[in-house]
Amino acid sequence: MKKYRVNVNGTQYDITLEVLEGDAAAAPAPKAAPAAPKAAAPAGGTAVNAPMPGTILSVSVKPGQAVKKGDILVMLEAMKMENEIMAPVDGTVSAVNVTKGQSVQSGDALVTIA
């Protein structure tokens, strides 16, 4: 047995936890499903990735379009807020990997700039 003191919303509680030894006491944790591979930027390209999970509200660029650093590429709704995803570099859009209404996860490639 191990004793701990926890604070919950400003109230302190003394608790005692039993330490279980051996494999019979604890069931193995389920394995997480493998994540889908992320789209990689082509050689020399810059991938613009989703900073957080959300839904694509609009896509402002198309392949072959020239962009300047700071141009809005995609509007991403996350946590009821609209987030402008901007070009980190000057270049030409070589790929647009999302469409309006699509759900994305953090780190998903949205646009590639060459």
Q: Give all domains of the chain, ordered by start, each with its CATH number.
A: 46-113 (2.40.50.100)
Model pLDDT, residue 98? 94
Q: What is the pLDDT along the chain (114 residues), one digit of tens a residue?
A: 788 888 888 888 888 888 777 655 555 565 655 555 455 545 568 999 999 999 999 999 999 999 999 999 999 999 889 999 999 999 999 999 999 999 999 999 999 999
**Interatomic CA distance for residues 41 and 5, integer angstroms:** 49
CA terminus-to-terminus distance, the chain: 60
Question: β-strand 103-104 against 109-113: which pairing, if any?
Answer: unpaired
Q: How far is it, in rounded angstroms, from Cα 66 to Cα 94?
A: 9
Distance separating alpha carbons of residues 110 and 114, to the nearest angstrom: 14
- The predicted pLDDT at position 9 comes to 81
